[in-house]
Amino acid sequence: MTRWMSVVLSAVLSLACSSSSDTPPAAPAFAQADLTDDWDALQLTTNDSPRWGHTHLSVAADGRATLVSMLQNDGPVTLPPTFDMKLSVSSSGTVTSSGADGGASFRGSMSSSKALVFATSTEDDGSTDLFVIRKRVPGVTFSAADVASVAFAYHAISSGSAWRWEYGDGATDASGALTIGHTWQAAGPVTPPPAGFATLSIDAAGLVEFAGAPGVMRGVMAADKKSLFLLNTPTPGTPPEVQLIGVLLTRTGFTAASLEGRYGFHLVESGSSSATSGWSRGAFAVNAQGVVSFSSYASSAGSTTLPSPFTLAIDAGGSITRADDASFHGHMAWNGDFYVRTGNATADPANGFLAIGAK
């Protein structure tokens, strides 16, 4: 079994064999018009070039992208004098880029909400990228009330001076002040920061910052106002520690059928160098009994072997677990259109990874 095969088998939603009568419902049809409008692209780049970036893009009807602004963990970026990139989406929701500034290795999956894209790619130096790309849906505006008095689960991946995963839960109060209830890392539970250590602020476009948080943290709220994705620099330096964090507002009422659907997944593993970092991605279907069948799989190491199936469970609160793998920690988004999952790599437990699957 290859290293990347082992990684994805630990990360992906998979259950036992399916029958033809248990076929998941068809995925929604996607069209090029679904890419039109403005998007915020959050990018985490693993070692050897650890950094994060936030790019505001405007995408025309033909897919041509225009840069509006760029920010990295070390500050604003001057826009280049020319930019040549075109984004395209297939009828199944696969997003690709072309042009001089496009990336041949870039592949994304659009969620059924058509307002989120999750993607992976490889940099020229071998570093790997994980992208969360959020649409600025016309007519959707945000206010402080959207991030106040909410409970959430979160999953994070770090790269750079520290490579690790983390997951936990917490809540905000009526003013947006943040309290983390529980935090787990590979070694087990860790002490969370003090209550009210930071306060969430949000502008009308859904751009989020943490006042009072250590390091630099910023991100976006999704158009349905039920999830946030954040970039963070908990440890500055050379190299810095950089993070991508998925924050999912929690509710009750999930059932086993909530796993049903067709997914495009994207996983990035963070290690000490490009030799121990990488991505995995592919597509699979889960039926009403939790049965998955893979239709595609690829890794940055070149593997295309489809993973074998195994079984997951989801509780009423949306937590996703595997009875035969205690390290499996995932959570379903409020509206069931994606999941986030963190854990240790099977082949190298010192490494952490984060996987996101779009339904």
Query: What is the per-residue pLDDT across 266-312, written as a single tens digit (0 to 9) for each?
Result: 999 998 888 889 999 999 888 877 777 889 999 999 999 998 887 78
Maximum average pLDDT range among 16-25, 215-224, 317-326, 338-347: 215-224
pLDDT, position 214: 54
* Residue 268 to residues 163, 310, 349, Cα–Cα distance (Å): 11, 21, 14
Of the candidate ranges 2-6, 118-122, 150-154, 315-319, the one whose mean pLDDT is the lowest: 2-6
Smallest CA-to-CA distance from 60 within 82, 83, 40, 87 is with 87
Q: Indicate if the pLDDT at residue 15 is higher than 60.
A: no
pLDDT, position 212: 67
pLDDT, position 26: 59
Residue range 228-238: mean pLDDT, rounded: 91
Q: Secondary structure of the chain: what % helix, strand, coil (to 5)?
A: 10, 50, 45
For residues 37 and 138, is the Cβ–Cβ distance under 8 A?
yes
Q: Indicate if the pLDDT at residue 143 is higher than 80.
A: yes
Query: What is the per-residue pLDDT across 35-48, written as a single tens digit (0 to 9) for each?
Result: 999 999 999 999 88
Residues contacting 177, CB < 8 A, separation 6+: 195, 196, 198, 199
pLDDT, position 347: 65
Cis peptide leading into residue 48 (ω within 30°)? yes
pLDDT, averaged across the chain: 88
This prediction's pTM: 0.91
Query: What is the per-residue pLDDT across 32-81, written as a single tens digit (0 to 9) for each?
Result: 999 999 999 999 999 888 999 999 999 999 999 999 999 999 889 999 99
Between 84 and 324, name the one with better pLDDT.
84
pLDDT, position 270: 92
pLDDT, position 308: 84
